[in-house]
Amino acid sequence: MSNDSATPIPPLPERSAAEAASAGADQQQTAAYPPAYGPQPQAEPTYAWAPAATVPAKKPRTGFTGGKVTALVLAAALIGGGVGFGGAWLGGSVFGGSSSSSATSGSGTQSITINNPDDINQTAAVAASAMPSVVSIEVSSADGQTAGSGSGVVLSDDGYVLTNTHVVTLGGAVSDPVIRVTMSDGTLYDATVVGTDPTYDLAVIQLDGASGLQPIEFADSSKVNVGDSTVAIGSPMGLNNTVTTGVLSNLNRSIEIASSAAPDDSSTDSGDGSDSSDSGDNLPWFFDIPGQDQSQQQTTSESIKIAVLQTDAAINPGNSGGALLDSDGKLIGINVAIATASSSSSSEEGGSIGLGFAIPSDIAKRVSDEIIADGSATHGLLGASVQPASGVQGATTTGAYLAEVPSDGAAAKAGLEQGDVITQFNGVRVNDAIDLTAQVRAAAGGSEATVTYLRNGKEQETTVTLGTLS
């Protein structure tokens, strides 16, 4: 069981109005949260990959520190608008506003609208700084029958872009995607997949013939705090260059999501997952794949467990792969999932209810660096079968209970034994089996990790040299 009280779904490609209408109300899908102990509320929120928008075939929050954004405010005055900053572009275009700043970026085109350069707030400054590094991604199958969209962030001046695996594969539905990328200034590029990492739902693509792009600047996601201000930039519902704001609500969430693109862990030793009753087809999380009905989406028996930052910045279908930024305009996370409040009559493509999730930038950087260098990324393997400690008779704390510890695994070699309860992994609190798996997979294969555990009521610590997930 996850330590979240709702169920996660990543920002995927959302459907077009025509496709949604043709699917019919009887095709709409909701997800029920699994039974839990004690009285249950009448309605539970459900999570979904923020769906990517299907495409045809072919209020600023206080809390930013003034000193940090002074340079960004100056930058905002220089980077005028035209493609859209929130509702400013819509207002200027639809209602005929003409007082916007006309300052241009280095490429000679404009990426956000600044109507009053003398009164720029911190959110506009952050958006002006980072907008050129966030892109919109359109994906389709070779025959054009399946299509969707998402977002991405620029990694290098020659066109490497980081996004989600579920964006470039449309949730596992497409193996040879046709990809087109739109920059914030409207420049178009074709792109190819460099490599995907289904284990952490990350992927790198490269733009054909790109040069002189502005790479995103990474922050250290291990240094952020609950309550820090956040800015999300992406293309929800295909609306490029959309900016929303919020705060970091929690730093160490872990979510498990059914994924047809997930690797099959059955070939590994006994794994690091939760007990076997939590098979992928029984999970309340699913990919919302355009062009596929409910039965097709629920056939997978595989799932992924990922560590995420939680934010209340609005993240919606199509935001997947986009940027979650700090008050300096630096990347702290890659937007990946949202929780939606759904019922039997709700749309399968729900919107934000203030529960958004992003893969921490430290994990995203390691994985993307490995993909660019080697075409794939490695992930740690503890070599033990674990289950939630809260379900074990006599347990005195939450954690990950070691149910089986094979003698040839990394856990046994580090001195861990059956019956131990892991409570921390590399200094991060572990509340259940999903937490542990997410943290182990976040680490590189072969890396060392510090594990804190309870044995016979006594807290102990050991260093584990992780195996590599095959």
In this structure, are residues 179 and 167 in contact, taking their beta carbons and an 8 Å threshold? Answer: no
Minimal CA–CA distance to 101: which of 125, 118, 86? 118
Q: Record the tokens describing residue 416, joined without a space.
A: 């861990």
Minimal CA–CA distance to 310: which of 388, 394, 224, 385? 224
- Pairwise CA distance, residues 302 & 114, whole Å: 46
CB atoms within 10 A of CB 445: 16
Helix axes 122-130, 66-78, angle to 10 degrees: 60
- Pairwise CA distance, residues 383 & 270, whole Å: 6
Q: Record the tokens describing residue 231, joined without a space.
A: 């800015």
467-468 and 380-381 strand pairing: antiparallel
Q: To the nearest 5 percent, what fractions of the chain are helix, strand and coil? A: 20, 30, 50
Q: Record the tokens describing residue 126, joined without a space.
A: 């952050």
In the block, tokens 């209810």 appear at 353
How many CA atoms does the CB half-sphere of 20 hold within 13 Å? 20
Q: Which amino acid is at 438?
A: A
Which residues, other chains included, contact 131 with Cβ-Cβ below 8 Å and sequence gap of 6+? 79, 85, 111, 112, 184, 233, 241, 243
Q: 383 — alpha (psi -120 to 50), left (phi > 0) or beta? A: left
Running DSSP on this structure, what letter comes out for residue 26?
G
| Radius of gyration, alpha carbons of the chain | 22
CB atoms within 10 A of CB 278: 18
- Expressed in angstroms, the distance from the first to the final Cα of the chain is 24
Q: Which sequence positions are flagged as catalytic? A: 166, 201, 320
In this structure, are residues 128 and 134 in contact, taking their beta carbons and an 8 Å threshold? Answer: no
CB atoms within 10 A of CB 434: 28
Q: 446 — alpha (psi -120 to 50), left (phi > 0) or beta? A: left
Q: Does an H or E element contain 366, and which? A: helix 361-374
The CA-atom distances, in angstroms, between 37 and each of 31, 250, 341, 389, 391 are 19, 24, 21, 14, 10
